[in-house]
Structure 1
Amino acid sequence: MITYYVLLWFSATLNLAWCSLQIWQCVPGKELSWNLLSLLTALGTLCLEISLVAFLLQESYASGLEALAHTFIISGLIVGADILLKAICVFGFHIPLFMDGKTTHIGKWGLWTVDKLLLTCTYGYILFVHYSTWRDKLPPRPAFYNYVVVMFVITGIALSGCGLAAIGVGFGHWLYSLVVICYHTLYLPFVYITFLADFFQEEDLLLDNAYYSEMKDAGFFDSDLE
């Protein structure tokens, strides 16, 4: 989990920069910088999102190091292909994926619709397996299913917004923008609270117990027994 903690901080830094530099969208000559920052932010967050699911899905039948290696291979291939496709669309075909001011571009909303559809189907499939006879193959963690349910709802709402925007409904752009804001501001704290907060509390408890044992062995509490 230490690896995910580092990745969490990396993604948090990128998201903070992305949120702080929103003005770059409206400044002439900053389109390249904004697109690069958006691609890096998407890379970090998507890598964290896929790695988290991939690692936990392997937890029941693979060791820690083996699962970690498989996780980074899987997430690296998926995220690499996704970012490459988005980079080609942005810099090769000049599709304004990350420019909020251009709301009627069919290619932009078509690509985002496919992107959110794949994520929604992935989370939906995990929930389907959880309530089927194959649920034993999934990790027995309530927090994992809480995470999947929340992400399924979020990606489903984003998919609806993209679909509406693709057919020219203005409400769809507003809905998708709202989801993006919530995602960039709340996703990382949500991951930390769901998975990492308890982990570090357990680490602190184990450390306190180790200190207590060492002090007990050294005789610091002998005077209390006299």
Structure 2
Amino acid sequence: MRSLLAELPITPSTEAEEIAGVGRGVASWWLSDCHGILYNLALIIPTVLFIVYLGSQARRSYARLTYGRSHIMIAYYALLWVVTIFNLLWCLLQTWQCTSGKEFSWNMLSLITNSGLLFLEISLIAFMIQGNNASGVETLTRTFVVSGVIVCADLLLKVIYVFGFGLPLFIDSNHSRVKWGLWTVHKLLLTSVYGFILFMHHSKWRERLPARPAFYNYICAMLLLNAVSLFGCVLLGNGAGFGLWLYNLATVCYHSLYLPLLYVTFLADFFQEEDLRLENVYYSEMKDAGFFDADWD
């Protein structure tokens, strides 16, 4: 009897349990591979929450942008969506770093995502330096052309390093000194730019910057973030393992928090102002229609 039972085929419930077990194993591998589950969750959760928030506000944001007719805000909002989607893919596909045969796909995804983030950074800096003069199609075109040239030059250099010389710029497990030396130069340039803007804020050129505390907080946050990343790259270039922890911390903060920070700094105030304008328009229309005449009786 026992031999007969042993020879019976697996029941559907047993097959379902095995499939569920395989699914759990794949999910566990997907989250825990390369950097570990905490690293991946710290990247994925804030990014997913932000894109859900953008989606929930999409209809209202579209109405405000249509009413405001600001070419700069429309362009930035569209870019924010595109870069956010690529950043979400970058966060979800971290396992490509450690998967054989996925090096090319991972390098391409990293190049596109980092170039998009860098474009947003540089163009925002350009708008901030122009201060109150940053408006109109001409300013938008000039700023995007300058930012595009810088980002294309940066992208070209990275393509040469990655595909020409075979440097694993986007593979964190590789500890090539040349690689960390290049990232040190990259982070040093960004840190210097944010440090210069912070210096401008405390100098006689302060009037050239927007008179908003949010912009000052943005500069301080980005200066601190790039300084931590720079210090981590310097330590890794000299063989100190602690530098990888600092570099990974800066990477997680950048990819999970930079886009929400940019939204709060550059777009949130515009949408709030449009809300006030719309309320004033509605109030004026209702007043003209006589809705408030009874209040004067």
CA deviation vs aligned residue, 1:49-108 (integer Å, no higher than 9, x gap): 111110121133454323212210110111110011111111111100011221x21121
Q: Name the structure 2 match of 1:154.
A: 225
Which 5+ residue runs of structure 1 have no aligned equivalent? none
Q: Pick from 126, 137, 142: which aligns with 2:213?
A: 142
| Counterpart code for 2:269 | D
Distance 2:77 2:86 in 1: 14
Q: Tell me, yes or no, if structure 1 residue 39 matches structure 2 residue 111.
A: yes
Native 8 Å contact 1:59 1:67 kept in 2: no
Distance 2:222 2:280 in 1: 36
Q: Name the structure 1 match of 2:234.
A: 163
**Secondary structure of the equivalent of 2:85?**
helix
Q: Tell me, yes or no, if structure 1 residue 178 matches structure 2 residue 249.
A: yes
CA deviation vs aligned residue, 1:200-219 (integer Å, no higher than 9, x gap): 11112211221221222223
Distance 2:169 2:103 in 1: 11
| Counterpart code for 2:110 | S
Q: Pick from 190, 207, 223: which aligns with 1:119?
A: 190
Q: Name the structure 1 match of 2:12.
A: none
Q: Tell me, yes or no, if structure 1 residue 74 matches structure 2 residue 111.
A: no
Q: Larger C-alpha radius of gyration, 1 or 2?
A: 2
Q: TM-score, normalised by structure 2?
A: 0.72
Superposed displacement of residue 131, structure 1? 1.5
Q: Tell me, yes or no, if structure 1 residue 188 matches structure 2 residue 274.
A: no
CA deviation vs aligned residue, 1:178-222 (integer Å, no higher than 9, x gap): 110111001111111222222111112211221221222223333
Which 5+ residue runs of structure 2 have no aligned equivalent? 1-72
Distance 2:168 2:271 in 1: 41
Distance 1:167 1:57 in 2: 36
CA deviation vs aligned residue, 1:2-60 (integer Å, no higher than 9, x gap): 22122111111111000000011111111111100000000110000111110121133
**Secondary structure of the equivalent of 1:134?**
helix
| Counterpart code for 1:155 | N
Native 8 Å contact 1:11 1:44 kept in 2: yes
Change (3 A) 1:101 1:166: same
Structure 1 outlier segments of 4+, above 4 Å: 223-226
Q: Tell me, yes or no, if structure 1 residue 94 matches structure 2 residue 170.
A: no
Q: Name the structure 2 match of 1:211.
A: 282
Q: Tell me, yes or no, if structure 1 residue 83 matches structure 2 residue 162.
A: no
Distance 1:168 1:33 in 2: 28
Q: TM-score, normalised by structure 1?
A: 0.94
Distance 1:29 1:141 in 2: 48
Change (3 A) 1:61 1:155: same
